[in-house]
Amino acid sequence: MSSIKLDNLTKKYGEIDVIKGVNIEIKSGEFVVIVGPSGCGKSTMLRMIAGLEKITNGNVLIDGKVVNDIEPAKRDVAMVFQSYALYPHLSVFENIAFGLKIAKLNKDLIKTKVSQVASALELSDQLNKLPKQLSGGQRQRVAIARAMVREPKVFLFDEPLSNLDAGLRVNTRIELAKLHQSISATMVYVTHDQVEALTLAEKIVVLNEGVVEQYGTPMELYFKPVNKFIAGFIGSPKMNFIDAKVVEVNKKGCKLNILDKVIDSYFSFRNVQCDQRLSLGIRPENLTVVSQRDCLFNGSVEIIEYLGEYNLIYIRIPQQELLCIKVDIKLSFNVSDDVCLGAQSENIHVFNEDGLSIYE
Ligand code: ADP
Ligand code: MG
């Protein structure tokens, strides 16, 4: 087990800043997921931890020791890529054993280690097969087994499930979670898929254009997003945003003008000023159809998606993006219905004009 620290980690390709001074501490045994849109620098960051990419500025520390100039093979780190890169002419056993043979371990020890790992990843019956005789999920498990058998201090995964179809992705995700529980190694896992991040991670790093937007537990990111980027990125379907303006502030709270209508009741938001423009963030599961009395704004039903367990209703509101609400299948809606929408005050996220969260 090993801790990792990224200290002002910076990467430039020529004039282009790709990683812009990242500071992160990963505790020994933690499962940390780096998530962000395609091209934001996730692979570059992981490759710098592995030693496959030169560091422009700052430090990578493993167990408190700067490893910037230590070659990949000596960092005791194993990396699993999106493409499994197995040797096609070698059996599953030989693929898993490859690194151990290079390290000149004795044959019996290799056999013991490979069979232990194969058993953990349910590959015991596949050891004599060639990679082409396996499914995509099994091949990816072989790639993971090849990393595991070396018993590295740190596992690095770069979108390891992206090439698998949806069902296998879920199964292999569960395998990975089990693997982490059983060997409690430090794992850093890169994905562009926020569902994968939320389900696997103990902590999530959200990276955007080479900058860490937020680093926290899945719950912190979901319930206390620090800015609109995080709020919109974490959660599916994504959070709705509605423009508002503060028209009065007093002891009772503040009064808001939402979409050109002053709302009668007071909101408990603090740290806001009269005339301040706000963006209200409400998740589809928190935005509900309400009576006229509790109405924050109204709109008309434009699209209905039936998803079995629940329905998603998309609502058109003048001068706003289409809003999405998640509703019980028992509620019936028709296209063009006019609806009043509302939300509990505690479920409204408030952002200032710079897109930063205002929490009490
Ligand atoms: P991600 O893994 O998040 O999709 P990458 O880390 O692969 O993103 O890339 C981040 C940015 O760095 C991208 O804009 C990419 O074009 C650029 N980049 C990656 N590798 C190189 C390279 N060898 N030379 C120049 N630019 C690169
Ligand atoms: Mg990548």
Most confident range, picked from 260-264, 271-275, 283-287: 283-287
pLDDT at 181: 87
Q: How far is the CA of 210 from the centre of ligand 1 (A)?
A: 10
- Residue 20, SS3 per DSSP: strand
Q: Which residues are CB-neighbours of 175 under 8 A, at least 6 positions away?
A: 121, 122, 141, 144
C-beta 138 within 6 A of ligand 1: no
Confidence label for 97 from pLDDT (cuts 50, 70 and 90): very high
| pLDDT tens digits along 283-302 | 999 999 999 999 999 999 99
Q: Which of 12, 44, 16 is nearest to 207 (CA)?
A: 44
Nearest 5 degrees, angle CA 28-CA 168-CA 154?
15
Average pLDDT, the chain: 93
Cβ 234 vs Cβ 281: under 8 Å? no
pLDDT at 300: 96
Percentage of residues in the chain having pLDDT higher than 70: 99
Q: Which helix (H) or strand (E) holds 256?
A: strand 253-258
C-beta 39 within 6 A of ligand 1: yes
C-beta 210 within 6 A of ligand 1: no
Q: Distance between terminal CA atoms of the chain?
A: 38
Give the residue whose CA is nearest to atom 4 of ligand 1.
39
Looking at ligand 1, which atom is closest to the CA of residue 37? 3
Mutate to test the pocket of ligand 1, among 13, 53, 192 (most ligand atoms within 8 A of CB): 13
Residue type at 132?
A: K
CA of 82, nearest ligand number: 2
Give the residue whose CA is nearest to atom 16 of ligand 1.
39
- Kindly tell me if the per-residue pLDDT of 140 is higher than 80: yes
Tokens of 282: 């409400």
- Kindly tell me if the per-residue pLDDT of 278 is higher than 80: yes
Tokens of 207: 């990276």
| pLDDT tens digits along 234-253 | 999 999 999 999 999 999 99
Q: How far is the CA of 38 from the centre of ligand 2 (A)?
A: 7
Cβ 132 vs Cβ 88: under 8 Å? yes
d(CA 68, CA 145): 27
Backbone φ and ψ of 300, nearest 5°: -125, 145
Ligand 2 is an ion; its neighbours by CB within 5 Å are 43
Tokens of 350: 């408030």
Give the residue whose CA is nearest to atom 10 of ligand 1.
41
What's the per-residue H, E or C state across 82-149?
CCCCCCCCCCHHHHHHHHHHHCCCCHHHHHHHHHHHHHHCCCHHHCCCCHHHCCHHHHHHHHHHHHHC
Looking at ligand 1, which atom is closest to the CA of residue 42? 3
Q: How far is the CA of 158 from the centre of ligand 2 (A)?
A: 7
d(CA 236, CA 242): 17
Q: How far is the CA of 211 from the centre of ligand 1 (A)?
A: 14
Confidence label for 24 from pLDDT (cuts 50, 70 and 90): very high
CA of 44, nearest ligand number: 1
C-beta 46 within 6 A of ligand 1: no
C-beta 47 within 6 A of ligand 1: no
pLDDT at 360: 60
Q: How far is the CA of 80 from the centre of ligand 1 (A)?
A: 18
| pLDDT tens digits along 39-95 | 999 999 999 999 999 999 999 999 999 999 999 989 999 999 887 789 999 999 999
Rg (CA), the chain: 25
Distances (CA, A) of 292 to 327, 341, 347: 18, 9, 19
pLDDT at 136: 84
pLDDT at 185: 87
Alpha helices in the chain (DSSP H): 42-50, 92-102, 107-120, 136-148, 166-183, 194-200, 218-223, 228-233
C-beta 42 within 6 A of ligand 1: yes
Nearest 5 degrees, angle CA 155-CA 143-CA 99?
80
Q: Which of 39, 51, 20, 61 is nearest to 9 (CA)?
A: 20
d(CA 327, CA 336): 17
Percentage of residues in the chain having pLDDT higher than 90: 77
Q: What is the mean pLDDT of residues 105-122?
A: 92
C-beta 286 within 6 A of ligand 1: no
Tokens of 89: 């002419």
Q: Which residues are CB-neighbours of 292 under 8 A, at least 6 positions away?
A: 340
Q: How far is the CA of 240 from the centre of ligand 2 (A)?
A: 28
Q: What is the mean pLDDT of residues 127-143?
A: 92
pLDDT at 341: 96
As beta bridge partners, residue 31 has: 187
C-beta 359 within 6 A of ligand 1: no
